[in-house]
Every structure is written in structure tokens, then in C-alpha cells.
Structure 1
Amino acid sequence: MRLNDPFTAEEMEAMRRAGRTDEERTLEGAFEKARAVGKRLPFAEDVLAAYYCVRDPATPRRVKWILLGALAYFVLPTDMVADFLPVVGFTDDIAVLTAAFGAVATSIKPQHREEARRAIEEA
């Protein structure tokens, strides 16, 4: 197989499966982390609203990818500023999430925010 050869149907399906697995892992990680810190983290509701927006089949694919990127950064154990540092630990996460939310603000619907509030209350 040469570098420029097209992918086979089996290879394409394997890449799709891997992408769905990574997406699910990212979403579940963001959901669990946001619920775990819940009321102590001022932007937990925003993270969970983004989670519900990505899960919504009506959300455009472009919006989903922007939010998935921001949520992946949120759940990564290594980032620019370590999350365990008091006060400044989540500042980089806030910056990334704020930029993503600004880009897709109209796609995060009131029902996504309501689901996020319920998830925090149930935690």
C-alpha cells in the first residue's frame, strides 16, 4: 500500500468506529468531571449544557466538533495550567470553553441548559 492509495471500505469503517469511541469517551469524561465538581465550579452548567448540545441530534456537525474540542480540553489531565492549583487551575479551561461557547452560542438551547441544571442538582 502506497501513501496516496485510497482507504478501503473496511479501513474507513474502522476509523469511523474509533472516532465514535473517542467522542463517547470525551463526552462521558466531560459529563462526569462537570458533575463531580458541580456546584463548586462556576462554569459546570455551561460544560453540561455543551454536553447536552453535542448529544442533541438537531445540533449541526460543525457545532458538535467545536464543542467536542473544548470538552476534550476540559477533560484532558494535562493542560496549560494544572486543574488542581487553587484559583488559577481552571482559568485555561474557562478560556477555551468561553471561546467555543462564543462561537456556537445560538446552538446551545434553553433545553440544554435546563438538562444541565437538573444534572447538577441530582449530583
Structure 2
Amino acid sequence: MGQWKQQAKKIKRDVYALYFAYRDQRVPWYAKVFIACVVAYAFSPIDLVPDFIPVLGYLDDLVLIPLGVALALKMIPAPVMEESRDKAERLLKEKPKNWVAGAIILLIWVSLLALILAWVTKFAKFA
């Protein structure tokens, strides 16, 4: 189980590193297009196969993301990837927190809950 956690951390670091590599001018355009797709899919909450589908839901995360990362790494010059991994390591150690984004998401959920409760209480009066 420990080895799986290490692999997951390595892939997470490499996804962040791919983001930094994408912004580097030394990376060819075709690699940037592929990197953009891999990073967008990795960070996206929407999957090709929804996670609630047994086995297949997580299979895309376990196969597609590592495969995409591995292919993208082959397209990037070694010095660029080394610099990008260093940047990713620093970013992950800092553990940035975006309180504004968290507050907005919390506000959305509370608002949705309030709307649902208002609708349920209004509907309950007619029943």
C-alpha cells in the first residue's frame, strides 16, 4: 500500500510539473497541446467514466492519467522537466490555500441547501 501512495504522490507532482512545463517556451507546440489535455483531465472534476460506476469509475483515473503523464513526459526536454519538477515540489511543500475559492464553494452549497429546504417546506404545506 505504501508503494501505491508513493506512485500517487509522484503522479500528482508530475501533473503539477506538466503544468509548469506547458508554460515553458522550450516545449514544442504539439507537446503543449497534449500536456494541456492531460492536465485539464487530471484536474477536472468530470471524468470520462463517472466514479460512482463500480470498478470502471476509478479505472480511468488509474489508467488514463498515468498513461497520459508518461506520454507527456517523453515529449518534454529533460532540462525543462527537471526545472518543472523542482517548481512542483516547492508548490506542493507550500500547500497553498485559496480561502476565497473555498468560501465561494461553501456559499454555493449553503445557498443550494437553503433553496432545497425552502422548496421542501413550501411543497410540504400543499401536501
So what's the TM-score if we normalise by structure 1? 0.54
Give the letter aligned to residue 37 of structure 2: G
Measured after TM superposition, the shift of residue 60 of structure 1 is 0.7
Matched letter for residue 13 of structure 2 = E
After superposition, the CA RMSD in angstroms is 2.9
Residues in 2 aligned to 1:117 and 1:89: alpha-carbon distance in whole angstroms: 29
| 1:114 alignment partner in structure 2 | 86
- 1-side partners of 2:94 and 2:34: how far apart? 27
Residues 1-123 of structure 1 correspond to what in structure 2 (within 5 A)? 42=9, 43-79=11-47, 80-82=49-51, 91-106=59-74, 107=76, 109-123=81-95
What secondary structure, in the 3-state scheme, does the structure 1 residue paired with 2:46 have? coil
Deviations 1:31-86 (A, max 9, x none): xxxxxxxx9x522201111111111111111111111111121222221243x99x
Using the TM superposition, give the Cα deviation of residue 105 of structure 1 relative to its aligned residue in structure 2, in angstroms. Answer: 2.0
Aligned length: 82
How far apart, CA to CA, are the structure 2 residues paired with 1:62 and 1:94?
Answer: 24
Amino acid at match of 1:109: M
User: Which residue of 2 is the match for residue 33 of structure 1?
Assistant: none
Q: Which has the higher helix share?
A: 2
1:89/1:45 Cα in 2 relative to 1: closer, same or farther (>3 Å)? farther
With structure 2 as the length reference, what TM-score do the two structures score?
0.52
- Partners of 2:15 and 2:69 within 8 A in 1: no
Structure 1 unaligned residues grouped into runs of 5+? 1-38
Using a 3 Å threshold, how does the CA distance of structure 1 residues 75 and 101 change in structure 2: closer, same or farther?
Answer: closer
Which has the larger Rg? 2
Partner secondary structure for residue 84 of structure 2? helix
Could you tell me how far apart the structure 2 residues matched to 1:47 and 1:65 are? 14
